[in-house]
Each structure stands twice: as C-alpha cells, then as structure tokens.
C-alpha cells in the first residue's frame, strides 16, 4: 500500500524533513509533497509577471501562482498533514484544512497542546491530532503497514 501525503503549514522548522526521514526509516511507501517552502521565493512567486506597486496586489498575484501548486497537490494527495508552529498566523494552514475537509480528504494536525483550544474546529474535522513528528510517522506506519 502506497500513499501521497501533502505536508501543509509551517515553513520555518524542519518538521517535513523529520517526517520524511522517519517514513524512510520505517520503510514506508510514501510520496511526500509540499508547498514551496523557501519564504522569499514564495512571496515573489508572481513577480516575474510584473511586480505590482501595491502590496496587496503583489501578494495576491503571488498567492494565486502558489495556489496552482498547492491546490493540485492537495487534490492529488491521499492524506494531508497540517502543521501549526509557534509563530506566525498560519491562516493558510487552516485554510488548507478547510479545503481538505470540504473535499472529504483525510488530514491530521500537528501542533502543541497549548493551541488546542483555538484549533478545536480544525481538529474536529481531522482524523488525528499529533504533537510530534514521530506520531505522524507512526500514524502513517499503522495506516500503511499494520
């Protein structure tokens, strides 16, 4: 059994790499995908089309280019991991969770206990809440190999 897993959310820590390594160690047949995680590159995703003077439209243009990638990868995935870190608003992560929920695509969340309350709506539609990348890997191992 093989799986496509999209890794959504926080881009400032190496949680994606931890999950990739863990899955490899466990011998899991998983293809991981992700948004562009180079922050400046992501912010400039649309600049080659002409960089708008107005910040709102520059962001708008880049976000729409990024969505070509992210929307396609979420739709093609079998499962999504949605990570909320310590910093930043991460509304895009919650947006991806809502998008996955409406598609009926299973997702798990990955976040610390101190933000359980503000994330309750996001967790309510999730298949599991993990606090460590090891738990994500173990969840995948169970789903694919148990």
Is 25 a binding residue for a second copy by CB under 8 A? The answer is: no
Does residue 67 belong to the site contacting a second copy (CB under 8 A)? yes
For residue 52, what are its two tokens?
A: 């708008």
Q: Which residue of 54, 83, 85, 112 would you call a contact of a second copy, by CB under 8 A?
A: 54
Q: Half-sphere exposure (CA, 13 Å, Cβ side) for 26?
A: 22
Binding segment toward a second copy, per CB under 8 A, in 12-20, 21-29, 130-138: 130-138
Nearer Cβ to a second copy (27/113): 113
Size of the residue set binding a second copy (CB under 8 A): 79
Interaction of residue 39 with a second copy, rule CB under 8 A = no
Q: Residue for token digits 């649309």?
A: 46
7, 134, 16: which is closest to 142 by C-alpha? 134
Task: Specify which residues 80 forms β-bridges with.
Answer: 6, 107
133 binds a second copy (CB under 8 A): no
CB of 136 to a second copy, least distance (A): 10
For a second copy, what does the binding mask look like between residues 99 and 118, x meaning CB under 8 A? Answer: xxxxxx-x-x----x-xxxx
Q: How far is the CB of 129 from a second copy (least distance, A)?
A: 7
Q: Does 11 bind a second copy (CB under 8 A)?
A: no
The answer for residues whose C-beta is within 8 angstroms of residue 12's C-beta and 6 or more apart is 39, 85, 87, 88
Question: Per rule CB under 8 A, is residue 33 in the interface with a second copy?
Answer: yes
Tokens of 86: 């310590």
CA distance 99 to 90: 14
Q: Are 125 and 105 in contact (CB under 8 A)?
A: no
Interface with a second copy includes 81 (CB under 8 A)?
no
């Amino acid at each position: 059994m093989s799986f496509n897993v999209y890794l959504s959310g926080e881009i400032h820590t190496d949680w994606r790499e931890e999950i990739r390594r863990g899955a490899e160690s466990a011998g899991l047949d998983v293809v991981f995908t992700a948004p562009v995680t180079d922050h400046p590159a992501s912010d400039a995703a649309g600049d080659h089309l002409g960089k708008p003077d107005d910040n709102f439209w520059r962001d708008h243009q880049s976000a729409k280019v990024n969505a070509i990638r992210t929307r396609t990868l979420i739709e093609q995935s079998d499962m999504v991991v949605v990570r909320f870190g310590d910093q930043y608003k991460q509304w895009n992560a919650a947006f991806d969770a809502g998008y996955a929920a409406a598609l009926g695509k299973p997702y798990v969340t990955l976040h610390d206990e101190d933000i359980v309350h503000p994330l309750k709506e996001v967790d309510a539609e999730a298949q599991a809440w993990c606090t460590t990348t090891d738990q994500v890997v173990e969840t995948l191992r169970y789903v694919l190999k148990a």
